[in-house]
Structure 1
Amino acid sequence: MANSPLIAGLELGGTKCVAILGTGPGDVRARDTVPTTDPATTLAALEQVLDGWQFDALGIASFGPLDLDPRSPAYGSLSATPKAGWAGTHLTRRLTARYGTPLAIQTDVVGAAFAEQRWGAAQGLASHCYITIGTGVGVGLISGGRPVQGAAHGEAGHMRVQRVRGDDFGGACPFHGDCVEGLIAGPALAQRFGRPGREIADGDPEWDLFVHDLTGLLHNLVVTAAPERIAIGGGVMTSRARLFPKLRAALAASIAGYGSFAAYADQLDDRLGPPGLGALAGPLGALAMGLEAMDETRG
């Protein structure tokens, strides 16, 4: 580790932000957390932490949506995000000007997927995805070892799925109502069921609706991209590992023995589970992005 570049990472989340310094999961030198409030206050607090560190590159793994088109004058900024006050905040311009080190930015979920690819349960896999379910729902999809991205980065957490008959909850997403995020993200659960997810017991029927709606997302990802592994993390699922058997059974039933996916459904014990890096997948995603910046610099 002595000759490895020292990386600073910023994981920007909807509730909290994490600053991390290290070279990888076995060498985390420092870690600080600040609450996510308004951009000026939050970024100033993170810069106060970074100012005390020496580092070779900086990685950013942020909630979105982000402008990730390198040709865009707004590259590295937040676009129409539901996080109040953050739309238009330019992350890369500000941080590059302040620190002058190689810098790479991605969505928080793609960063976590890169961390899983470098150090976690997706090592050696060309296609996989990382799903976070917390303040929002995000999906980082990797194919051929690189993030799937077209004119913009994907927002699969906002796809629409078939609802349970009789479920008339209008959804909590300010843009789409009852998209997946509007149904199963932490704030949506609290609005939908009248209490936060942490207060809902494992056996309560509310989780049957959660499993049904999340299974719709998983089905669509599988039949679209057939990822070799799907990791699900984030605050809602971190304490609900007992839901994985239900999710596997529901996904297998949804696949319904179709074609080559019949074998896939038989392998869900290995293909669908928590991230190998556990709750550190997110912060380590920021370190992974810093290493991506170093790789790009070396050409």
Structure 2
Amino acid sequence: MEVVLALYGAIESGGHKFVCLIAEDKDTILEKKVFLTKKPKETILEVVNFFRQFGNLQSLGIASFGPIDLNQNSQNYGVLTTTPKTLWQGIDLRKEINSRLRIPVYIDTDVNSAALAEHLWGSANDVSNLVYITVGTGIGAGIICNDKLIKGFSHTEFGHIRIPHDLKEDSFLGVCIFHGNCLEGLASAPAINKRCELEEGRIPPPEHQVWSLVAKYLSFAVNNLIFTTAPEKIILGGGVMKNKKLITLIRQNVYDLLNSYVEYDPIKFDLENYIVHPKLGDEAGVLGALAIAMGLNFEINQ
């Protein structure tokens, strides 16, 4: 009797590229392909054609840039809302793919998905409470508390929190089109590019003075998360965090900001294993999408 293996699809959709894979599970990836993000119709068609060649999939998970309406009772569930990627505003990515492949399609944010993957298989597989922060084109946070992803009427918008900004020290007004000098407006990749007058996709050398400012702002944000969510581990991912000196600056700043107030041994004595890089690296988002397709997010949310 022939054994038919269950296959799952996963997509990490971003402003620059769509990462797609077919897998039996995390350790058995059969095919992976990257598509450049173009206009919605063209991109979706390429993605759908990729998955069609594998026949019937069990289900498909999407780790998407946002904001997304994640309220399952909303008539706009799964729709990209006020994304700065204007061509994608109002696009229901989940529905578009579901209607073409006719399989169950599940969606969450890219950062929630990365948090899920790191919790299941990565740097935070030994704790129940964690925060995954991504710092790249945007800034976001996925928060897992008591093994459950935190969501309210929708996902969190951590990149748009306000942090101390001394205009005498730093006259830069920020790049966020909605809030100017929010965290994302001050410390994201586009903010760094504009501060340093660099082309998109380029970053300044590790010794550039801008990194001390970026570390300062990210440290304020991490400090606030420690006080508000009491995570057992904090993971810092995304393209900006590939500057290896940055995480060291953040650790030191956070330690100074906390000023010995928090009585938690990993913070007091082992900060290098408390504030960490993602073990899964750039694969965290798409592996989170795979976990969603496999139903593992429902498992931890029970």
Kindly state the Cα deviation for residue 152 of structure 1 after the two structures are TM-superposed. 1.8
Are the equivalent residues in 1 in contact too, given 2:193–2:203 (CA < 8 A)?
no
Q: CA deviation at 1:242?
A: 2.4
Q: Which amino acid aligns with 2:171?
A: D
Q: Stretches of 4+ moved more than 6 A in 1?
A: none
C-alpha contact 1:171 1:179 (8 A) present in aligned 2: yes
Aligned to 2:209: 205
How big is the shift at 1:96? Answer: 1.9
**CA displacement, residues 123-168 of structure 1 (integer Å, 9 cap, x when unaligned):** 1321112111111111111112121111221001111111244201
Q: Residue type of the partner of 1:183?
A: L
User: Which amino acid is the alignment partner of residue 51 of structure 1?
Assistant: R
Partner residue, 2:36? 35
Opposite residue 99 of structure 1, the aligned amino acid is L
The aligned residue for residue 217 of structure 1 is 221
Q: What amino acid maps onto 1:137 in structure 2?
A: I
Cα RMSD for the two superposed structures = 2.1
Q: Which residue of 2 aligns with 1:124?
A: 126
Q: Distance in 1 between matches of 2:231 and 2:162?
A: 20
> 1:244: how far off?
1.6
Distance in 1, matches of 2:217 and 2:262, equals 23
State the match for 2:164 in structure 1.
162
TM-score (norm 1): 0.92
CA apart distance, 1:3: 7.7
Q: Which position in structure 2 is the counterpart of 1:195?
A: 198
Aligned equivalents of 1:47 and 1:12: distance in 2?
13
Unaligned runs of 5+ in 1: none
CA contact (8 A) 2:18 2:36 kept: yes
Give the aligned partner of residue 109 of structure 1.
Answer: 111
The CA distance in 1 between the partners of 2:235 and 2:66, in whole Å, is 19
Counterpart of 1:29 in 2: which secondary structure? Answer: strand
Offset, 1:26: 2.1
Name the TM-score, length of structure 2 as normaliser: 0.91
The residue that corresponds to 1:50 in the other structure is 51
Aligned to 1:18: 19
CA contact (8 A) 1:256 1:262 kept: no
Structure 2: runs of 5 or more not aligned: none
Percent identity, aligned pairs only? 35
* Residue of structure 1 in register with 2:7 after alignment: 6
2:240 to 217, 232, 236: 236
SS at match of 1:250: helix
